[in-house]
Structures are given as structure tokens and as C-alpha cells.
Structure 1
Amino acid sequence: MNALSNEEVRLRARGAEVVVRPGSGCRLASLRVDGVELLRQGAEYGSFVMAPWCGRTAAGRFRSGGEMYQLPVDETGHAIHGLVRDVPWRTARADERSAAFVRELGDPWPWSGTVNQLVELAEDGGSLTLTLGVETFGDSFPAQVGWHPWFRRNLGLGGEDARLEFDPAWREERDEHHIPTGRRVEPGSGPWDDAFGVPDGLSATLTWPGELELKVASRAEWVVVYDEQDAAVCVEPQSGPPNGLNSHTRLVTPISPLELSTTWSWRRHEPSA
């Protein structure tokens, strides 16, 4: 049984182990399968939560209910990846295979509410399910949720780099600030730092030939793929596209929270005879 901790929560099942650091944005710091690390290591990597928006909100501004709101911007001049990835969360409960975490929303977000993340390893150690929720107990507000995992491009076992397969319906054309223009274009070929529409839900496969296969599945209708770095491939299920607070409004109300899940499943490749 895991002790509740503000520093590190470890989940284990068969040959799989997950490390969550609630004090660092409820980030998944590690995902190991039979001793093989799948996530890029480092304080800003692993896999982090994006909420209450995903990607960039243009100039940090969005309109809701006739009011214009201003979010803090970074050096790009835009508000990026939400407000919860670098702040401490509270561990609500944890056992050997699952844990639940909570973070309150407030200033500089204009409304009060909570973000919740449930992390669950399957009993057979063959998959991990992450579930995000955003709730309000007062005024309704727009929101998005998503994950930004940094999967290692090479597992360091002497094999080839990862190959990504997915079949989006379209790619969002973006401007020089990486903000979607509203025009849908053919997916094209990578490398990418782009948002894609997957209206039937996300199904993506990362294959490290001869070593391991990992599937990322979600009912999310949007995914961002970022594979411009040599060290990692990011496959990011999202409830809406970048700048979605302006273009694809989803209201969180007291009777209609926002909830999204993703399941990562894997299998090791047997060595050739």
C-alpha cells in the first residue's frame, strides 16, 4: 500500500511502474515497462497535465459571456498549456495500482473550480488509464483538458527510433505563432508541431521496432503531435485544439463537468529466434 505523499506516488502492477509527482504539477515523472523507461526524463518532461486550456491561447485573451478575459502570457506573447502543470496538487487517495489527485482553480483563472486526475494501472500491468476532470461549484466557465507526454524517441536498447502511426481526418493550418487559422488542410507528413482532428477518437501507435509497441487511445477528438526534437515524440490527446477557448467553447457547469480519459497500452516485442 502506498503512503499518501506530496513528493512521489509510485504505482505498480506486474512489470509496470508509474511515478507521479503531485508537488510538480501532478506530472508523470516515469513510466517503466519491464525496467524500460518510456518517458523522457527531466523536470519539464515526463507527462504533464494541460488545464483549463491546452496549447496556446492567442495573446492570452478569450471571450466568455460577453466579457473579455486576459491570462498571463510567456515569452511567446501567448498563454500556454494551462495553469496546473507547475503547481502542487493534493493526493486525495492512493493504493498499489491507482491514485487520485486534486488541484483547485483560482486567480489568475477568473473562476473557482477544481481539476482532478485519476491515474490507474491495469491489474495485468499492460496499460495505464488517465482521467482528467474539471468541475465548478459556482459559475459556469469554458475549459479544455489534455496531456502532454514526452515519449522517448529511442529506448536506449540498441534498436531503432520510434515510428508513429495515426490517421487524422485533417490538420489545422497554423500561423507563424502556432495559432490555428480555422482552415483545415491535409495532414501531410512530419516533422510536426501541429493539431489534428480525429472526430472518431484518437488511436495512435508508437512502435520501437523489435522492442516495444505502445498504443495511445482516447475519445478525444483532437490531438497535437510534436516530433521536432531528436529526443522525444509527443502525442497529446486534447478535448479541443490550441486557442480552443476562443474557437471551440466547451462550458463547464455545476451539472456538466468536463471529463476526458486516455489509455496507453503496450506490449514488448519478443526477440527474434
Structure 2
Amino acid sequence: MSNTDITLTAGDAEVTVRPENGGRVSGLRVGGVELLRQGDRYGCFPMVPWCGRIRDGRFRNGATVHRMPLNAPPNAIHGTARDTAWRTARASEDEAVITYDLGEPWPYPGRVTQVITLGADSLTLAMAVETYESSFPAQIGWHPWFNRTLGGTNAADTADAADVRIDFTPAWQEERGADHLPTGRRIDPEPGPWDDCFGMPGGVDVTLTWPGRLELKVASREEWVVVYDEPREAVCVEPQTGPPDGLNSHPRLVTPLEPLEATTTWTWRRL
């Protein structure tokens, strides 16, 4: 199938998927209101085969050291999948399946499959990394940019819109060094603004509330979430299978017998 834009619909929800632009969900509209920041770099992009930064772009697989391009000098950031075109495997009214074959600069062959499923009040994103050759460490995550405010249909509604509130109860916060990478120490969660990774051993559970408009819950069985709310226009809640630099600190091996799989579900309700 082609890799042109895909539109999914369910109830009054509508999602746009852009396989050719990094396999990202470029839009999520509920009742005609856009929840995601617009632009080629935004929406919600998949982070794979790693999440966040790799220190100095270097990671080890057994005795072999690899180095990724330093696209956020002095580090490598957010994987390779967001920078390439994905292929559409199939699409229906409310579900799309897209794939991406790992290749240069990533040193190991493998396939990434992402399934995007829209319900009337939910969006589920599922991803798997599999290989039939060499085993390698990998991570899976998603990087949504949620609009800080939800504008209405006129300028007055937009001007009066309140900022989103982020509510969650992490067990710990990864101490962040000056290089924006975890130091390896776990500390008590600190107040924001954040560009930080948190641990939620019972699974990611973060609620975004746009007062008087909408409540949206980001959930995942994974125990790591990065919250980034420093930008003026948007906030990011990023469930992932390990912390930044996790290829080195918390490696999860993809093997011919065991793929790496992860899922996140967003559910919403009107207020």
C-alpha cells in the first residue's frame, strides 16, 4: 500500500497518521478540537529503537560499541524512526498498521510495526520491534506534543482558555545531570517545570486536564515516563520502555525468539 496520510474516525474523534513523516500521529481531534501541536516536527512521533538521549551517541551490545549520529550534540536523541518514511501495511476506518525496517545508521536489521487504533473515547498505540538475525538492545516510546491550551472556534475562546494541568504520582524521579541525562540516582519527585524521567512501577498513569474542556489519561504498562512541560505552546508525556540512555543503563534485548513490545492508551472525557 502507499504511505500517504491516513485518516481514522470513531464517534466524534478523528486521527491523522502520516507514515511518510516518521510514522507519526500528526493530529487528534475530539469534537473538532485539535489536541496535538501542529507542525512537521510535532504531533506524536514514535521513539525507536531508542528513547531520549544516548550519552555521546554510544551504546554497547556485548563487547561491541556502536555510535549513533549526534543529532543533539553531544548526544544522539529519540531514535531513527521519526526521520524516515514508514510503509502502510493496512488501514481501515478506525485502525492503521504501519511498518519500518531498521537500517543505517542503526547497525542491526529488524522490523518495527506500529498499530494505531481509534475508539470513540480512546486512542491506542502499540509498537513491536522484531529481528530474525542478531540480537540487540532497543527501546520503544512515544513523544506526543499536547497543546497547552485548547482553543475554541473564536478568538475569545482561545484567549480565555486555561493551561493544561498535569497530575501524576511517580515513585521516583531520575536525577538529571547538567547534560540532561540521568545520573543513576533516584530522588523524590520535584515540582516542575520538567524535562525529566519518572518511575511508575505500577504502570504509567498521567492525567492531563484542560479545565472546563477535556480530561485525557495517558496510560501504559511500562514503568517509565518523561514529562516535558518547559515549552510555552505544548506539554509532552512520553511513556517508554526505559529511561534516557537506557540502551546502556537498562538494556532490553530484542532476540529472534522475543520481540520488544509496548502499548500506550489515551482515554478522554468531556468536562
Describe the SS at the equivalent of 1:190: coil
Which ranges of 4 or more aligned residues in structure 1 deviate by more than 6 Å? none
Per-residue CA distance 1:8-29 (angstroms, 9 max, x = gap): 0000011000000000001111
User: Which residue in the other structure is 1:252 paired with?
Assistant: 254
- Which one is further off, 157-166 or 12-21? 157-166
| 1:168 partner letter | P
Map 1:19-168 to 2 at 5 A. 19-122=16-119, 125-157=120-152, 158=157, 159-168=161-170
Supply the distance in 1 between the matched residues of 2:269 and 2:33 (Cα, whole angstroms): 12
1:170 aligned residue (169, 172, 194): 172
AA of the residue aligned to 1:120: T
CA distance in 2, matches of 1:140, 1:15: 43
Query: For the residues of structure 1 that align with 2:151 and 2:11, how far apart are their CA atoms?
Result: 22
- Once the two structures are superposed, residues 141-173 of structure 1 have per-residue CA deviations (whole angstroms, 9 ceiling, x without a partner) of 000000000000000133211000011111101
* Counterpart check, 1:7 vs 2:1: no
Aligned to 1:202: 204
Could you tell me which amino acid in structure 2 is paired with residue 148 of structure 1?
H
Alignment CA distance shift 1:75-1:220 (3 Å):
closer
**Shift of residue 266, structure 1, vs aligned partner:** 0.5
Query: What TM-score, normalized by structure 2, do the two folds share?
Result: 0.96
**Aligned residue identity for 1:197:** G
Q: Cα distance, 1:76 vs. partner?
A: 2.0
Q: Give the alignment's TM-score, normalised by structure 1.
A: 0.95
Find the aligned partners of 1:75 and 1:237 in 2 and give their Cα distance: 21
1:151 & 1:33 partners in 2: Cα distance? 13
> What is the aligned-residue identity percentage?
60
SS, match of residue 85 in structure 1 = helix
Q: Which amino acid aligns with 1:93?
A: R
Partner of 1:234: 236
Give, in whole Å, the separation in 1 of the partners of 2:72 and 2:247: 20
Does residue 1:262 correspond to 2:264, yes or no?
Answer: yes
1:181 aligns with 2:183: yes
Tell me the distance in 2 between the aligned counterparts of 1:121 and 1:201. Answer: 21
Q: Once the 2 structures are TM-superposed, how far is the Cα of residue 47 of structure 1 from its aligned partner?
A: 0.3
Q: CA deviation at 1:236?
A: 0.2
Alignment-mate amino acid for residue 249 of structure 2? S
Separation in 2, partners of 1:33, 1:18: 9
Write the deviation string for residues 37-96 of structure 1: whole angstroms up to 9, x where unpaired. 000001100000000000000000011111111111124211100001020000000000
Aligned mates of 1:200, 1:208 — CA distance in 2: 25
CA-based RMSD of the aligned residues comes to 0.8
- d(CA) in 2 for partners of 1:238 and 1:58? 17
Counterpart-to-counterpart distance in 2, 1:247 and 1:176: 18
SS at match of 1:24: coil
Secondary structure at the aligned position of 2:84 is classed as: coil
Distance 1:175 1:210 in 2: 37
Separation in 2, partners of 1:96, 1:87: 25
The one-letter code matched in structure 2 to 1:132 is M
The residue type equivalent to 2:144 in the other structure is P
**Letter in structure 2 aligned against 1:147:** W
Q: Report the AA paired with residue 141 of structure 2.
A: G
Q: CA deviation at 1:175?
A: 1.1
Report how far residue 5 of structure 1 moved. Answer: 3.8
Runs of 5+ consecutive residues of structure 2 not aligned to the other structure: none
